């Protein structure tokens, strides 16, 4: 009896491998995020009176399956690379804003009028002459 189940499992495994040959078939970071998002939306749907979260979760799962079974491997890989770069940019912005929030009592933050570079100066210095580190523009600022 146990031998039959093992043989069936091996045949099923061979069929799955044959199906996935030449396809993207990866659970990369974007697919993982899509899966987590759909699970969160499905759990959220339990507490909402409307079915909007359900249909959003279904659309995320459809997108996940499209990416997983796609035969266009390089575009799917490029999508994941773009996703990772955007996540990295977002993390960098969050880290900068967290640092800015932590230093708000010590420094005054402002932008260069020429290149819009974020600058800072110690609070309580009065009127100072600031030189931008990027464009070398000089301007006066009250801090």
Q: What is the pLDDT of residues 60-111, one digit of tens each?
A: 999 999 999 999 999 999 999 999 999 999 999 999 999 999 998 999 889 8
- Residue 19 falls within a domain, yes or no? no
Calculate mean pLDDT across residues 39-62.
94
29 and 45 fall within a common domain: yes
- Residue 5 falls within a domain, yes or no? no
* CB 91, CB 103: distance < 8 Å: no
- DSSP lists the bridge partners of residue 4 as none
User: What DSSP state is assigned to residue 138?
Assistant: E
Can you give the residue range of the structural domain that contains 130?
A: 105-142
61 and 84 fall within a common domain: yes
- Residue 16 falls within a domain, yes or no? no
110 and 96 fall within a common domain: no
pLDDT at position 20 is 86
- Residue 40 falls within a domain, yes or no? yes
- Residue 9 falls within a domain, yes or no? no
Domain tally, the chain: 2
d(CA 130, CA 135): 12
* Tokens standing for residue 48: 């909402």
Confidence of residue 133 (pLDDT cuts 50, 70, 90): confident
40 and 96 fall within a common domain: yes
């Amino acid at each position: 009896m146990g031998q039959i189940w093992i043989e069936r499992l091996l045949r099923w495994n061979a069929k799955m491998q044959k199906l996935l040959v030449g396809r993207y078939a990866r659970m990369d970071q974007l697919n993982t995020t899509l899966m987590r998002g759909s699970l969160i939306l499905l759990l959220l749907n339990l507490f909402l009176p409307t079915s909007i979260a359900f249909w959003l979760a279904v659309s995320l799962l459809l997108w996940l399956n499209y990416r997983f079974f796609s035969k266009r491997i390089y575009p799917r890989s490029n999508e994941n690379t773009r996703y990772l770069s955007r996540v990295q940019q977002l993390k960098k912005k969050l880290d900068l804003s967290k640092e800015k929030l932590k230093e708000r009592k010590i420094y005054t933050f402002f932008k260069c009028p020429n290149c819009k570079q974020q600058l800072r100066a110690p609070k309580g210095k009065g009127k100072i002459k600031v030189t931008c580190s990027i464009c070398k523009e000089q301007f006066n600022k009250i801090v």
